[in-house]
Amino acid sequence: MSAVVRDFFIDFQRCIGCQACAAACSECHTHRGLPMVHVDLVAPGVSLQTAPMVCMHCADPTCASVCPADAIKVDEHGIVHSSLKPRCISCGNCELACPFGVPIIKMEIQQMQKCDMCFDRTSAGKKPMCATVCPTGALFYGTREEIAQQRPASKPINRWRFGKQRIATRVHVMVPHDVDEMAVELPAFDEGGGPAALATALAAGARDGRAPEEAGPEAEFL
Amino acid sequence: MAHLRLPISDYIREYGPHVSDSPVTGWGPKPEPDRLVETHCCFCGMQCGVKLQVKSGRVIGIEPWEEFPFNEGRLCPKGVKRYMQTHHPDRLTDPLIREGAGFRKAGWDEALDLVASKARAIQAKRGKDAFAMLSGVSLSNEKSYLVGKFARLALGTANLDYNGRFCMVSAGAGNKKAFGIDRVANPWDDIPEAGVVLLAGTNVSECFPTLTHYIWKARDRGAKLIVVDPRETPIARTADHHVALRPGTDSALNQALLHELVANGWFDREFVEQRCTGWAELRASVERCTPEWAGEICGVPAALIREVAAAWGQAKTSFLLHARGVEQHTKGVENVLGLINLVLATGRIGRRGCGYGTITGQGNGQGGREHGHKCDQLPGNRDIENPEHRKHICDVWRISDAELPRKGKTTVEIVEAIHAGGIHGLLNICFNPMVSHPDTGFTREALERLEFFCVIDFFMSETARYADVVLPGSLHEEEEGTSTTAEARVVRIRAAVEPPGNARRDTWILLELARRLGKEEHFRFSSSEDIFNELRRASAGGTADYAGITYERVEREMGVFWPCPSEGHPGTPRLFEDGRSYHPDGKFKLLPTPYRPSAEVPDAEFPLYMTSGRSVFHYLSGTQTRRIKFLVEKSPGPICEMHPALATRLGLVDRQLVTVETRRGAITVPLRIVETIRPDTVFLPYHWPEELAANQLTVRALDPVSKMPEFKVAACRVRAATRGEADRARSLFAELKLEAS
């Protein structure tokens, strides 16, 4: 085992929406053809910008905090794992609470499954499958020195703020040098907001009233 | 007569395409592979290195091949999922002979004897050239070479051409005119060294995803990116300059850019005057081609053209890449020459970071076009009408000049001759004209008029349905060989498994047919390597010289770049380093390319531009990719891309079924409203067959030099589908997603 610490970086601007990451992730037999990485169209109808989302592996994961069954665990490498099958009650709290929209309850097996950063591969010194195949470097696995040297025009950060919640993640995102924190403003419920204001804010955030959607099937008219 | 006698849904039920998304071993715990076979992806000219996991004679998965220098493990979704085709339930496993309304299984002797006797009968009655052959450049170098020799010696026909006619012939013709050699001038490794990268008509991120990495490497070092494309493709989205020009106006843009280079002194006087010919004429030809003039034609601001000219003109190093977007036109060769002029004017070629090239689309588009299954070429990129070139090949093949046919018809001309009654028999391998040929209705009529039609394929392609005999051939991963990537690197393709059932390797089929045609003496090959070694001798002394390339070297060096004239030669990653072209005088040719309109432009009746292209999830005619569930789910069928302003004007809404019509036909598809396309243009991807073929709409008009059809420009109109059209489209789309039982 090498002592070199390698991290995971997402560089959203490079994503071309090709879904090679999802194709490669789905090859993992532990989740049987179902990808754990999602590629979302950010503004359907407006732009082809897509965003690949792996699990961000929060230092203090919201999914684990809200789990009533204590089924979600973080290991010594900072990897947040799928729910422990014997404990998971498939309640969906993790799905609802994760600010990144990562966990998915697979009802047919009564378990939450999510990206574990290819623990089987990384523990054997390999890169995660998605970051290995990504044709553009939108997903990158390597050292901080490597990314700093290769991409001088941007820098990695791992600090997020969703309304009042601050989160540090094991996964980094590449941003311009003048950005130190990824901030997502949310309407405060205790300041005269409430559900109606939230709905308005969400609609305004997603242009044309459409929420971001999974990139993919065209023929939903059927 | 090869009319379809069954409803198409019957062919689909029997032979697919069905979608399948389970490894041959299922999704349960995966067995440990016996071995990993280092080979290459079969899709696109990048030919990414990939390892196939093999267990008990079956391909059970893939593993990225991180040591291969071009892609270092990177892949697109097609490359990841391609292994699912190997043991696909749709694979053809027995020869099929047309009987009654459908096909019956037959033995090899019966099927091969039938093909040979029909070919002989047609040729005896109507002459040698009345039996034609069509081929494709997804085949390895060895098979491409063998097809060229087979058609000319075993069939004795001049009429052999290939699907590269729809791919890179305009680039090849332009490159030969300007440089005297048809090859990308630099290795991809030069891209990151460029100060500006210009992508003209190439949707790199969907058609060559792994090349995107090289462009980003350049941008990380501060390079500017210029993209010329009517659509804001994923690579155009982040470009520094995006010229969203009207389809078919590239040559006007190229002229205006050159005008600006001249006007501002952004050219290399020493290079154009000493290393090139034709500078004075070229310069005079763009004198009046101002950005205002071009802006009007191209439908883009003159200021943008000036910005692009300044970015290109003032750069110290640069790389210009183009692909089908500028090449699939009736003036494809002119578009290519216009771009080459921009490169030559600045003298930025032949050195590190100063590059140029077309991006070959098909798997072996580069190697396949060099070794003789093109109607006017012999191995080594030789000219079939050149007496010296003919002599070299006659010597290698041990035949007299009289035995070697002369130049034959190009692909579209072959189909036209079939339609007109001049060609009566056809052997087709690795080509699916029912999807890829322009004007599908015409193609169908032609196939229906054939007296005898044989198809060699591994799946029942939409074209094979029209055949009298279908011979089950082999996949990329079932035969040893080499392929030449788009950067002219010869790489090794390895056989991982055997063809299934009674299917046979393509080489075996061709050799057996040659024997039955009485030409065994010319086709005594014991292995793919044996064929390659003859190819080396045949190519020796030609521009595409493989003489010094051996299997052993290709494996050890992870690819060798041609020209490589001797075993001690290191290969040639970068051309023109000595400042000389491959013309006898060593000069680069500057040729004026005045703007002229496309064959068909919008009018009152058909007021919109239609352009066509690819999706990242499919390869060419989709014979392989339309069978893999992951890819089909992401892109199940064709869509019509339209700008919201146009949709509003036409009263159409997102995802509605619309009918797109041209003078050739109509197609009903879902609408995708998106701001990333010009409001005067709609886009359709072309990967689907028959009633969903975008090529029902395209024009059968050809470039006068390259004979490339004009896939990229047609005049069309769009309206809401009628109830009947919509019902039909729904049932066709439902069939696209049929799962294998």
In one letter, which amino acid is A17?
Answer: G
Q: Give A219's contacts in chain B (Cβ within 8 Å).
A: 636-637, 639, 670, 733
Q: How many CA atoms lie within 13 A of A136 on its CB side?
A: 28
Residue A170 region, left (φ>0) first, then alpha (ψ -120 to 50), else beta? alpha
Q: Which residue of B has its CA nearest to A148?
A: B220
State the alpha helices, DSSP H only, in B369-439. Answer: 387-397, 411-420, 433-436
Provide the angle, in degrees to the nearest 10, between the axes of the packed helices B250-263 and B302-313. 60
Per the DSSP assignment, residues forming a β-bridge with B98 are B103
Spatial contact of B55 and B496, defined as CB atoms under 8 Å apart: no
DSSP class of B272: I
How many residues are there in chain A? 222
Q: Is A16 in contact with B206 (Cβ distance < 8 A)?
A: yes
Cβ-contact B656, B693 below 8 angstroms: no
Three-state DSSP state, B383? strand
Question: What b-and-e string marks burial along B438-472, b requiring 16 or more CB atoms within 10 Å of the CB?
Answer: bbbebbbebbebbbbbbbbbbbbbbbbbbbbbbbb
Cβ atoms B499, B379 nearer than 8 A = no
- Give the type of residue at B23: P
User: Of B216, B670, B673, which is closest to A221 when you measure between CB atoms?
Assistant: B670
**Contact across the interface for B636 and A150, Cβ inside 8 Å:** no
Give the pLDDT score at A218. Answer: 43
Between the CA of residue B268 and those of B314, B351, B404, what are the distances in Å?
11, 15, 45
Distance of alpha carbon B554 from the chain centroid: 24
Cis omega before residue B563 (within 30°)? yes
Closest listed residue to residue B159, CA positions, set B123, B197, B131, B185: B131
Other residues' Cβ atoms within 10 Å of the Cβ of residue A22? 24
Query: Is A135–B644 a contact, with Cβ atoms under 8 angstroms apart?
Result: no
In the structure encoding, which two tokens stand for residue B655, read together?
Answer: 């995802």
SS (H, E, C) A83-138: CCCCCCCCCCHHHHHCCCCCCEEECCCCEEECCCCCHHHHCCCCCCHHHHHCCCCC
Tens digits of residue pLDDT in B63-121: 999 999 999 999 999 999 999 999 999 999 999 999 999 999 999 999 999 999 999 99
One-letter amino acid for residue B650 of the chain: L
- pLDDT of A217 reads 43
Contact flag A151-B220 (C-beta cutoff 8 Å): yes
Phi, psi of B379 (to 5 degrees): -50, 150
The tokens 């243009």 sit on which residue?
B681
Q: Are B695 and B436 in contact (CB under 8 A)?
A: yes
Percent of chain B past pLDDT 90, that is, above it, reads 96
Number of A–B residue contacts, CB under 8 Å: 134
Q: Flag if B79 and A133 touch (Cβ within 8 Å).
A: yes
Nearest residue of A to residue B676, measured between CA atoms: A47
Q: Are B298 and B243 in contact (CB under 8 A)?
A: yes
d(CA B520, CA B527): 15
| Cα B522 to chain centroid, rounded | 30
Q: What is the pLDDT of residue A119?
A: 87
Any bridge partners for residue B135, and if so which? B162
- Secondary structure (3-state) at B147: helix
Q: Which residue of B has its CA nearest to A20?
A: B77
What global pTM score does this model have?
A: 0.95
Contact A38, A147 (CB under 8 A): no
**Nearest CB to B220: which of A127, A132, A150?**
A150
pLDDT tens profile B38-51: 999 999 999 999 99
Give, as one character, the DSSP assignment of residue A83: P
Residue A139, H or E segment: strand A139-142
> Do B655 and A134 count as a contact with CB atoms less than 8 A apart?
no
Neighbour order of strands in the sheet with B489-493: B481-484, B489-493, B560-561
The pair of structure tokens assigned to A195 is 């559900």
pLDDT digit of tens for each residue in chain A (222 aa)?
A: 456 789 999 999 999 999 999 999 999 877 778 899 999 999 999 999 999 999 999 999 999 999 999 999 999 989 999 999 999 999 999 999 999 999 999 988 899 999 999 988 988 899 999 999 999 999 999 999 999 999 999 999 999 999 889 999 999 999 999 999 999 887 665 555 455 554 554 444 433 434 445 544 444 444
Verify whether the Cβ–Cβ distance A136 to B212 is below 8 Å. yes
Q: Identify from A9, A127, A151, A222 which residue to disrupt to test chain B contact, counting B C-beta atoms within 10 A and taking the largest count.
A: A222
Q: Looking at chain B, how many residues does it have?
A: 741
pLDDT band at B254 (very low <50, low <70, confident <90, very high): very high
In chain A, whose CA is at the least distance from the CA of B84? A27
Cβ–Cβ gap B75/A135 under 8 Å: yes
Q: What is the ipTM of this complex?
A: 0.95
Closest partner residue to B237 (CB to CB) among A26, A29, A47 is: A47
- pLDDT over 60 (residue B139): yes
Q: Angle of helix B291-298 relative to helix B302-313, nearest 10 degrees?
A: 120
Q: Are B483 and B559 in contact (CB under 8 A)?
A: no
Distance from CA of A190 to the nearest CA of B (A): 38
CA angle A141, A24, B735 (to 5 degrees): 155
Tokens of B155: 């069939």
Is a pLDDT exceeding 60 seen at residue B255?
A: yes
CA B221, CA B197: separation in Å to the nearest integer?
A: 12
The dihedrals phi and psi of B33, each to the nearest 5 degrees, come to -65, 150
- Write out chain B residues lying below 8 Å of A151, CB-based: 220
**Contact at CB, A219 and B670, closer than 8 angstroms:** yes
Looking at the complex, report in whole angstroms how far the Cα of residue A31 sits from the nearest Cα belonging to chain B: 8
Q: Are B56 and B91 in contact (CB under 8 A)?
A: no
| Tens digits of residue pLDDT in A47-66 | 999 999 999 999 999 999 99
Chain B within 8 Å of A206 (Cβ-Cβ)?
no
For residues A78 and A170, the answer to whether their CB atoms sit within 8 Å is: yes
C-beta neighbour count of A69 within 10 angstroms? 14
- Within 13 Å, how many C-alpha atoms sit on residue A157's CB side? 14
**What is the structure's pLDDT at B390?**
98
User: For residue B44, is it left (φ>0), alpha (ψ between -120 and 50) or beta?
Assistant: left
The answer to whether residue A90 neighbours chain B at the CB level (below 8 Å) is no
Q: What is the pLDDT of residues B310-366, one digit of tens each?
A: 999 999 999 999 999 999 999 999 999 999 999 999 999 999 999 999 999 999 999
Q: B617, A19: Cβ pair inside 8 Å? A: yes
In the block, tokens 């005008």 appear at B259
